[in-house]
């Protein structure tokens, strides 16, 4: 089921600015939320975005998803460590339609997180995937592209 993406100008509750809370393993709403978030990223089977954080659809959870180049992953309670060199690149955000922004981000990240099966993972990512992870992680901290 597609969820409504909260736009910054309609964020009456300021959820996009809140720091998120950790997801509890026994929270029975998480699996359906994850499915709905992936549905929200697609329109007629085509991705309208590459990532989505829970606060963007009204949930104050440390959770984001990525769907990029045929690869999909769920990041629950992530901890991110950025490293490498800064790269400037244009980004877009579903909560800020029609507002491209050039942002400097590290080209590599190391992330510890739980996947959709609650398996603890630690992985390194680089390039565009590292950038997407940093963008979505910012949402969990209440940081938005307009803050850069």
Q: Dig out the tokens for 35 from the structure.
A: 């499915």
How far is Cα 2 from Cα 15, in angstroms, rounded to an integer?
A: 19
End-to-end CA distance of the chain: 32
Q: Dig out the tokens for 37 from the structure.
A: 């978030």
Q: Are residues 133 and 111 in contact, defined by beta-carbon separation less than 8 angstroms?
A: yes
Catalytic residue among 4, 43, 73, 136: 136
Which of 68, 55, 57 lies closest to 5 in space, CA to CA? 57
How far is Cα 40 from Cα 35, in angstroms, rounded to an integer?
A: 9
CA distances to 21, 34, 39, 93 from 43, in Å: 29, 16, 8, 16
43 catalytic, yes or no? no
Catalytic residues: 136
């Amino acid at each position: 089921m597609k969820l409504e993406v909260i736009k910054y100008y309609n964020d009456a509750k300021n959820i996009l600015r809140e720091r998120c809370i950790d997801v509890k393993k026994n929270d029975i709403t998480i699996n359906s939320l994850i499915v709905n978030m992936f549905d929200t990223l697609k329109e007629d089977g085509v991705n309208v975005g590459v990532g989505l954080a829970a606060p963007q659809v009204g949930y104050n959870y440390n959770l984001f998803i990525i769907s990029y180049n045929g690869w999909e992953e769920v990041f629950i309670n992530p901890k991110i460590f950025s490293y490498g060199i800064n790269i400037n690149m244009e980004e877009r955000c579903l909560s800020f339609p029609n507002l491209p922004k050039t942002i400097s981000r590290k080209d590599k990240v190391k992330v510890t997180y739980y996947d959709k099966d609650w398996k603890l993972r630690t992985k390194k990512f680089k390039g565009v995937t590292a950038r997407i992870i940093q963008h979505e992680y910012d949402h969990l901290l209440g940081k938005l592209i307009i803050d850069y």
